[in-house]
């Protein structure tokens, strides 16, 4: 099967042989423990990791668009990338991590035309763009702190890097990778030999770009704006450029800021799985064109993506109305780290549903864990694998540490790390001192504050609030399914609503819904 922009004769088998064979990247082995094996979206295969620069790992993670407070699904990528960072630092490596703040350029629907998400929020709230971004950026950092996410090395804001973006686009234009339309300057994806390979996008498959809008004059529907013109609308915020006043395309910022802060090459790019299909594909196209390299791996060798968080079996998305945020978890009576524990109980590449039942189970499990840990306090300081290994007194403890290291090195298998920790706490052959070392080591890896959090702080909680407009949308979808006599779909939505603690009552004049009790906390 051929791919968009692929040279004649290139097929899936050839490509997997090229980038999916599990070859390790340049540099020396990690400082301690086993070599991590991480799942590379570029090839869909687990590969051995070695840093480009010995002793140092550089990570770029796609950050939030700060037009509203981040919902629970938005926070999963940062707990995931924080765990990745913790694993490397535990192995004795220096980590430089950049997470951007998108405060300009991201349009509604991730499209090239249309209104900027931040500007739309400012108009609706009758305030300035900068007030919107300030307030929601503060909420984002507050949530990161509550979830015990380590401070990032860099948090660049897109609006501070527009001059560099303009210069980046100027280079692309000089090299013949762009063309002009009234609506802006567009990147010609036909000039990118490996365009779409990250997403496994077959050539001519309209289904892969169906959610991209049709823009008059575009050579290909996959082509994307690197500069959006102001000719069609007066923006609240814009910049002068060689292509007239306007704003940078959304995909541009990450290519520019990662290069400014991490260099022409860096080790790992992370983000949500939704970025894998378009946003990261477009980043790769423009960055490889700018750098003059042949393919994605010669820019960033390793691409990692976390899966969606579901709410009522549907993907969390701000477009569906107000989704639960971290303060809703706290308002329901849970400590924020219950949510972190809940995330770590699943693999980052698996979808997971957030709801009352899952949070109650996570709270109960974390309470039990803290109850077993409390007698071992104060825990020793063992910031690295090497320090933990040196602090252990017996072979049983060192074997347990090796199992923890193998689990976290196996593509961040945090659920297995938690299982190993619970096994350690039940193991009568281990002394109290070695148990304390192992608990401290796991706390470094998972960031659950096991050395200080008390079981009393982790309450069983009440019920997680469900946005009424989200429920109304589901009820309306069920009503339409019933009108279409799609009884299977109607039953599926009813089950969804039941999981959310909502009962639908059908009457001759229509349907209405009401909340129902979900039972007492455990």
Whose tokens are 């051995």? That residue is 48
Find out whether 375 and 369 touch, Cβ atoms under 8 Å.
Answer: no
Show binding-site residues for ATP: 318
Q: Which residues pair with 315 in a beta bridge?
A: 310
* Cα–Cα distance for residue pair 56/402, rounded to 1 Å: 23
Number of H helices, E strands in the chain: 16, 15
**Quick one: tokens of 177?**
């990778």
Show binding-site residues: 62, 254, 279, 283, 318
SS3 content of the chain, % helix, strand, coil (to 5): 45, 15, 40
* Cα–Cα distance for residue pair 27/18, rounded to 1 Å: 20
HEC string of 359-414?
HHHHHHHHHHHHHHHHHHCCCCCCCCHHHHHHHCCCHHHHHHHHHHHHHHHECCCH
Nearest to 419 by CA among 344, 354, 507: 344
Show binding-site residues for Zn(2+): 62, 254, 279, 283
- Give the CA count within 13 Å in the CB-facing half-sphere of 408: 30
Q: What angle do CA 147, 151, 152 make, to 5 degrees?
A: 120
**For residue 189, which phi and psi values (nearest 5 degrees)?**
-65, -20
**Quick one: tokens of 115?**
């209104």
Nearest to 266 by CA among 291, 226, 300, 219: 300
**Quick one: tokens of 396?**
């049983």
**Quick one: tokens of 231?**
């000719």
């Amino acid at each position: 099967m051929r791919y968009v922009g692929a040279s004649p004769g290139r097929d899936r088998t050839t490509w997997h042989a090229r980038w999916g064979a599990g070859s390790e990247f340049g540099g020396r082995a990690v400082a301690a423990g086993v070599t991590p094996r991480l799942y590379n979206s570029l090839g869909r295969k687990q590969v051995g990791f070695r840093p480009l620069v010995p002793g140092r790992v550089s990570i770029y993670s796609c950050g939030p668009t700060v037009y509203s407070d981040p919902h629970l699904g938005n926070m999963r990528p940062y707990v995931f990338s924080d765990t990745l960072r913790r694993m490397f630092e535990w192995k004795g490596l220096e980590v430089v991590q950049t997470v951007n703040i998108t405060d300009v350029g991201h349009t509604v629907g991730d499209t090239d035309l249309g209104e900027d998400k931040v500007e739309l929020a400012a108009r609706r709230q009758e305030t300035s763009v900068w007030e919107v971004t300030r307030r929601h950026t503060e909420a984002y950092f507050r949530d990161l702190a509550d979830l015990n996410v380590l401070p990032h090395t860099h948090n660049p804001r897109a609006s501070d890097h527009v001059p560099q973006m303009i210069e980046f686009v100027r280079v692309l234009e000089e090299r013949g990778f762009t063309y002009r339309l009234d609506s802006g300057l567009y990147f010609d994806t036909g000039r990118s030999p490996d365009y779409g390979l990250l997403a496994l996008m077959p050539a001519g498959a309209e289904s892969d770009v169906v959610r991209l809008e049709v823009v008059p004059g575009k050579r290909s529907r996959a082509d994307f704006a690197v500069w959006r013109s102001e000719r069609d609308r007066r923006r609240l915020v814009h910049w002068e450029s060689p292509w007239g006043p306007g704003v940078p395309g959304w995909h541009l910022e990450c290519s520019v800021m990662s290069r400014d802060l991490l260099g022409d090459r860096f080790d790992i790019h992370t983000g949500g799985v939704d970025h894998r299909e378009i946003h990261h594909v477009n980043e790769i196209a423009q960055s490889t064109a700018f750098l003059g390299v042949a393919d994605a791996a010669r820019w960033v060798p390793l691409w990692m993506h976390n899966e969606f968080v579901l709410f009522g079996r549907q993907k969390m998305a701000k477009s569906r109305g107000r989704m639960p945020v971290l303060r809703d978890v706290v308002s329901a009576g849970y400590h924020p780290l219950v949510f972190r524990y809940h995330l770590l109980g699943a693999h980052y590449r698996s979808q997971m549903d957030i709801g009352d039942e899952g949070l109650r189970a996570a709270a109960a499990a974390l309470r039990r864990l803290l109850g077993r840990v409390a007698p071992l306090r104060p825990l020793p300081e063992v910031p690295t694998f090497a320090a933990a290994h040196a602090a252990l007194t017996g072979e049983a403890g060192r074997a347990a540490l090796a199992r923890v290291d193998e689990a976290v090195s196996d593509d961040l298998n945090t659920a297995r790390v938690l299982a190993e920790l619970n096994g350690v706490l039940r193991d009568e052959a281990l002394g109290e001192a070695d148990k304390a070392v192992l608990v401290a080591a796991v706390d470094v890896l998972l960031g659950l504050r096991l050395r200080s959090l008390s079981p009393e702080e982790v309450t069983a909680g009440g019920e997680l609030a469900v946005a009424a407009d989200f429920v109304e949308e589901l009820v309306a979808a069920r009503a339409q399914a019933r009108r279409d006599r799609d009884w299977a779909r109607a039953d599926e939505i009813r089950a969804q609503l039941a999981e959310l603690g909502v009962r639908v009552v059908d009457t001759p004049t229509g349907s209405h819904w009401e909340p129902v009790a979900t039972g007492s906390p455990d």
